[in-house]
Chain A
Amino acid sequence: MKRLSRKQIMIIIGLLAFYAVTNFMINKNIIDSYLQLNMIVIGINIILAVSLNLITGFTGQFSLGHAAFMSIGAYTSAILTANFGQPFILSIVLSGAAAAIAGILIGVPTLRLKGDYLAIATLGFGEIVRILALNIDYIGGAIGFNDIPQYTNWTWTFILTAATIVLIYNFINSYHGRACAAIREDEIAAEIMGVNATYYKVLAFAMGAFFAGIAGALYANYFYFIKPDSFGFMKSIDILVIVVFGGMKSIAGSIVGAIVLTIISSFLQGIPELRMIIYSLILFGIMIYRPTGLIGDDKFIIGKKKRRSI
């Protein structure tokens, strides 16, 4: 295992080139604001999907409350930037931290639950967060939070998306990540081999929440305006759909899934009913023809056929 393999160096160069080109095109107005909006939404969705994949795909903890963590991050950043005039970088970090703390608080009691029970508990958590937000006047209640400064731009989105991918990839390819995978495969065997399952489940949950919180901050500071219903149950399902569509246990899958589904849903923006139908059809298709998701599993990660030096 070397510091950087040749392939990784190529990826880094590719990413830098991609950023340079897109940024140049934005400055020259070749990429218009509508396209830029979609690029930013794709970035946010990638962060959400990859972070949920850490919880659900890699660690095997079925969560239906991911949008709630996004919501906590979004409101934290809105308060910090709009009400307290804090710099964006600080508010991003604190948004992630706030969501992570919520992840620990909800994770400690619920993560001993399995499968369906955990799904219901996380669903309930998501609703609690939404209803709390609806009833707190300080953050606008049902009317929503207005006049959030627009700090999010393509550069922030690109950097944070890339950082999320790299950090979660690194985590997964460490013994901590292997411990999470072992819990998914067989919790009792994992414990017997020395893995503290409770610790790792809460850790994965908190990390996933952290990045979802960052996605929330990007969202809030891009759209000026947030309201509790933007982060409801359906948003959590949307994120889960991306993960399942792209492939559980596949970071590449979550990236491709976020890109494809964001583009599809942007085309169907005007007709939300049709969007749900098409989403369902896509899911049916995936489940029937590629149950492991678009990219299958493990393309990027442990268990792969040939392990290059990382």
Chain B
Amino acid sequence: MPVLKVNNLTKTFGGISAVTDVSLDIEAGEIIGIIGPNGAGKTTFFNLLTGLYSPNSGDIIYNLDSKITTHDLKPHKITHYGISRTFQNIRLFQNMSVMDNVLIGFHSELKYGVFCALFRLPSYFKSENEIYKKTDRLLDRLNLLDKKYELAKNLPYGDQRKLEIARALAANPKILLLDEPAAGMNPRETRELMNLIKWIKDEFRLTVILIEHDMSLVMNICERIFVFDYGNLIASGTPEEVQQNKKVVKAYLGEEVE
């Protein structure tokens, strides 16, 4: 059973159709790449998958602990279901520390009530101590522990992207959506990121779906690739298949090929 099934998904903004009749299946444990020229609808697709937009038509079905369908997808519920994401234009909590950013990633795991918090009942200490330990462990594994107390906005760009991944991982997802994780990174950082993604996929037993313009990264780590162009899913397959696909070459080069 595919972990994510999308049927005839369509989203329009006014006159333009950002995502048109897209259908696809994604199996658990895959690393999936989504590529396509600027404005192809990739981010819109992610926003649909995470409930930030609701589709004009079509269905999204996740087979996670339970079956999640389109109308269940409220943004604040997706981490409860096991879906977590990052953003193309980094959306960290800028004026909060690295640690606090990750702490918020654990939000859906924490359960003690407001009353417990106000009066610091035992469950407050128990839960908070646990979460602080987990935060340290996660930061350590992503090599961010020494920057724990720095404000997110003061981190170098590459670390900000990494912190966003750390925050997403804190929510303990089964599916991780990464929107252009390598954007703005230099080749060395991109290589490190590639290893990081492969590593977290195994370590956290994830299904990873990533949007990326950096072809070296996509071709290297993705098992399957979906290609978007003007809102349409124009091709899919292994990196080799996609590279040979005439429609894909045309979409990227913008001209007829013999």
Contacts and interface: CB of A to CB of B under 8 A. Distances in A.
Interface string B139-179: 00000000001010000000000000001100100000000
A190 B124 CA distance: 21
Interface of A: 1-3, 167, 170-171, 174-179, 181-182, 185-186, 188-197, 203, 297-298, 302-307, 310
Given A174-B112, A178-B104, 11 more contacts: A175-B110, A175-B127, A178-B103, A185-B95, A188-B91, A192-B79, A193-B79, A194-B80, A194-B171, A195-B76, A298-B95
Given A1-B128, A179-B107, A193 B171 contact: yes
Question: Ordered nearest first, which 6 A-B pairs have the shortest CB separation?
Answer: A174-B117, A194-B108, A185-B93, A194-B79, A189-B91, A191-B75
B131 interface: yes
B25 to A, nearest CB: 24
A176 B93 CA distance: 15
Interface of B: 50, 52, 75-80, 84-85, 87, 91-97, 99-100, 103-108, 110, 112, 114, 116-120, 124-125, 127-129, 131-132, 149, 151, 167-168, 171
9 contacts: A170-B117, A174-B114, A175-B128, A177-B117, A181-B100, A188-B75, A190-B104, A193-B167, A303-B97
B173 to A, nearest CB: 11
A171 B117 contact: yes
Contacts of A1: 125, 128-129, 132
B107 A171 contact: no
B187 to A, nearest CB: 28
A194 B50 contact: no
A303 B131 CA distance: 16
Main secondary structure of the interface of B (DSSP, over half): helix
With a 10 A CB-CB cut-off, give which of A3, A170, A306 has the most chain B CB atoms.
Answer: A170
B76 A194 contact: yes
Contacts of A298: 95
B208 to A, nearest CB: 17
A118 to B, nearest CB: 20
A1 B131 CA distance: 11
A136 B131 CA distance: 51
A73 B103 CA distance: 36
Contact of A193 (B97, B105, B112, B151): B105
Nearest to B83: A192
Contact of B78 (A175, A179, A188, A192): A192
A178 B107 contact: yes
Nearest to B149: A305
A163 B42 CA distance: 51
